[in-house]
Amino acid sequence: MKNKKMKKYIYIIAILFIAVFLYLTIITKMVFENNINSYLNKEGITNEEILEKKIYRNSKQGGYTAEIKFKKDPKYTYEFTLNGYNPSQYLDYRKINLSIYDEKNVEFNLIKDNTKPVYFIK
């Protein structure tokens, strides 16, 4: 009788562990990618304008990073990041940070740089 109860608890813990693992790896990445796509759509950017897109997990800080290069602006890499494990932040695209890097992997600075990126800088 005790053996059956132990197996039942082990199965429940295993199912919970698998559910949390799937949430942290697969579901949050899909939600992050959806938020990036909806943000780009709100800015009027279509998929045809994207030259290269990489999405990967940031294992040091938690969260995800998307690196996007555009056809009109190939010398800059636009890096969208969402750090942390707070589930509510994945549902709001306004929590995503944007950094812009040039070919030398130097972050774009509006004060120092003479040429501006095409996107997101008004």
Residue 24: predicted pLDDT: 74
Position 93 in a domain:
yes
At 37-74, the pLDDT tens digits run: 888 888 889 989 999 999 998 878 778 899 999 998 88
Show the beta-strand stretches assigned E in 1-122. 50-57, 63-70, 77-83, 97-101
Say what the pLDDT of residue 86 is: 66
Task: Say whether pTM exceeds 0.85.
Answer: no
> Residue 118: is its pLDDT beyond 90?
no
What pLDDT is recorded for position 89?
67
Residue 54, domain member (yes or no): yes
For the cut 90, the answer to whether the pLDDT of residue 22 exceeds it is: no
- Give the tens place of pLDDT for each residue, 63-104: 889 999 999 888 899 999 887 666 666 666 677 888 888 888
Q: Contact at 8 Å (CB) between 75 and 52?
A: no
Assigned domain for 116 exists: no
Q: According to DSSP H, which parts of 1-122 are helical?
A: 2-22, 28-42
Domain of 64 in residue numbering reads as 1-110
Q: Is residue 120 part of a domain?
A: no
In a domain, 119, yes or no: no
Number of domains composing the chain: 1
CA dist., res. 55 & res. 26, Å (int): 12
**Distances in whole angstroms, Cα of residue 47 to Cα of each of 41, 96, 112:** 9, 19, 31
